[in-house]
Amino acid sequence: MLIKQVCIPKRDLTTVNENCTLEKALEILEKSGFRCVPILDDTGKIFRGNIYKMHIYKHKSEGRDMQLPVTHLLKNATKFIHLDSSFFKIFFTIKELPYIAVLDEHQQFYGILTHSKLLNILAQSWNVNEGRYVITVASLGNRGDLSAVAKIISRHVNITSCITLDVGQDEFIRRMLFTLPVETSDDTLQTIIDQLERRNYGVIEVEDLQKERER
């Protein structure tokens, strides 16, 4: 995954210095409109963690010292990825975070990858603009199922994209989502479904992307 192409670089970000007070950090957050921003060291190169507006509000509402440095409420210090991190590393690190810090090969702060950008990348993997139907095929997860299903579909159309779900979640059922190209006709779709079901592969859902785009 080419993270450098999709992350927001440091020069375009709002950040705070590790010696910034909570009071000043709150001003920066309120002015920027962000719910959290990265904390960097004095050199501006080392990622220390994140500071969240909600944590400062709570701290202030409890009548605590607002002159303390932001590191007093520092969060997510170990939540970061690298420019060469794999997609799976990114996906399982970001989870509920609004963004994940990105470090370069020298362990220096490069920028952030936002949650919304990651979701956009996932959406692009469906090839919505080039697809007509997404069919969800269920199997028992036997060896060769993916190859067999793909072979049946490929007799009639090119496969625009393929995503598998439920791996490691269900001992018996695996779901394979295939996006069929935009020129796929209703008759071709039905032929594919019939042939899959004759091979005991259940087509449990068909999504018409054209109708989704018209909404």
Instruction: Tell me the CATH number for domain 3-121.
Output: 3.10.580.10
Instruction: Tell me the CATH number for domain 126-214.
Output: 3.30.70.260
Q: Which two three-digit tokens encode residue 114?
A: 């936002």
CA distance 7 to 3: 6
CA distance 18 to 181: 51
* SS3 sequence of 81-150: EECCCCHHHHHHHHCCCCEEEEECCCCCEEEEEEHHHHHHHHHHCCCHHHEEEEEEEEECCCCCHHHHHH
> The whole model's pTM is what?
0.69
Domain(s) labelled CATH 3.30.70.260 in the chain stretch across: 126-214
pLDDT in tens, the chain (215 residues): 578 888 999 999 999 999 999 999 999 999 999 999 999 999 999 999 999 999 999 999 999 999 999 999 999 999 999 999 887 788 888 888 999 999 999 999 999 999 888 877 776 666 666 788 999 999 887 889 999 999 999 999 999 988 887 655 555 678 899 999 999 999 999 999 999 999 999 999 999 987 765 65
CA distance 23 to 68: 8
Domain(s) labelled CATH 3.10.580.10 in the chain stretch across: 3-121
The secondary element (H helix, E strand) that includes residue 57 is helix 53-61
